[in-house]
A = this chain, B = another copy of it.
Amino acid sequence: MAKGTSKSGEITINDIAKELNIAASTVSRALNNSTKISEATKQKVRKVAEELGYEINLVASSLSKNKTNLIGVVIPNINSQFFAHALSGIQEEAKAAGYNVIISQTNESYEQEVEVMKVMNSARVDGLIVSLTMETKSTDHFNALVRKSVPIVMFDRVNFSVPGPKIVVDNYEASFKATQHLIGNGCKRIAHLAGNLSCKVFEDRAEGFKEALNKNILPLLPQFLLACDLNEKDTREAMKLWMSLDERPDGIVVASASSGLMIASIARSYGVTIPGDLAIISLGNERCNELMIPSISAVDMPGSEMGKAAAINLIETIKTGHIEDRIILKPIQLLMRNSTFKMA
């Protein structure tokens, strides 16, 4: 067998070359199915490669081609259903196109996001898919990648000061429709549990909420628009405040699915009936929303769809080299369930 086995103990194209008494470059071309290699040679090369158990070393290939076939994914966290679905969609599309996916969470921390960009830079990813943290305001940490023309696709939590395709939903519309839906079902005193308003997603949701009240000549009552981090603690506090009021809200538009579920649960502990005393609709849908009793109305944000679109657009951008500032708007869906039908 091949005697010139490489240092690392791996089979290389040199081993195949020696075995067949041909040049390594010929082996490389054969394995890459170059048109200028005879079928006969390709056959022989493939056979020996198979026999020797050769698997291409992508590290060497990447260095040589100055292209890693690696897509970096940077998201706030993997645990949320929305991002998990997005990641899953990204991975499927990437795999189909022959790309590998390298992933890092930022845990909603701007500082971590900055660090992660350095790692992705060093890993020489061919492109990046990002959903920003709630904290992120500056996008200077993308400059290094942008300068090198590394394609960057942002989805959901986007910032338009970074060039490249954006995959978004219309959060204003989502919130507007949700609020409208509550109003249509007789709610008069509607509250909104918002996320961090410096994050565009949550700002738009708050705006849609306010505009719907406006259009329907309903007042925005004091303390009925509360912005927070949408974690359990903040959600609990918001509810505590609302439940302490003489005139409690009779409907709540919640800026996230997980907070919506919590609110439903917390409401029960206050002896509040849903939807009788309080209607609830959340911006973002999880499977749980459907299974709960009562089921929780929601506006569905298509995580998997958005992830797939992000990957497809990124790969196209990588291939063409043209970084376009297009905006892809994914449709949302109002899911009317039992938590909002006061009349039912």
**Interface residues, chain A, with chain B CB atoms under 8 Å away:** 7-10, 53, 55-60, 62-63, 66, 68, 70, 77-79, 81, 84-85, 87-88, 91-92, 95, 100-105, 118-119, 121-124, 144, 148, 261, 264-265, 286-288, 290-293
Contacts and interface: CB of A to CB of B under 8 A. Distances in A.
Contact of A59 (B7, B63, B91, B104): B63
A60 to B, nearest CB: 5
A56 B293 CA distance: 54
B104 A103 contact: no
B293 A55 contact: no
A124 B58 contact: yes
Contacts of A63: 57, 59-60, 63
Q: How many copies does the complex hold?
A: 2
Contacts of A79: 81, 84-85, 88
A90 to B, nearest CB: 9
A13 B56 CA distance: 27
B100 A53 contact: no
Nearest to A294: B293
A6 to B, nearest CB: 10
Contacts of A119: 100
A28 to B, nearest CB: 14
B104 A101 contact: yes
Given A79-B84, A288-B287, A55 B104 contact: no
Nearest to A296: B291
Given A121-B55, A287-B288, A291-B261, A91 B66 contact: no
Nearest to A6: B66
27 contacts: A10-B148, A55-B118, A56-B122, A57-B122, A58-B123, A59-B62, A59-B123, A70-B102, A78-B88, A78-B91, A79-B81, A79-B84, A79-B85, A87-B103, A91-B103, A91-B105, A95-B104, A100-B104, A100-B119, A101-B102, A261-B288, A264-B291, A287-B288, A288-B288, A288-B291, A292-B292, A293-B293
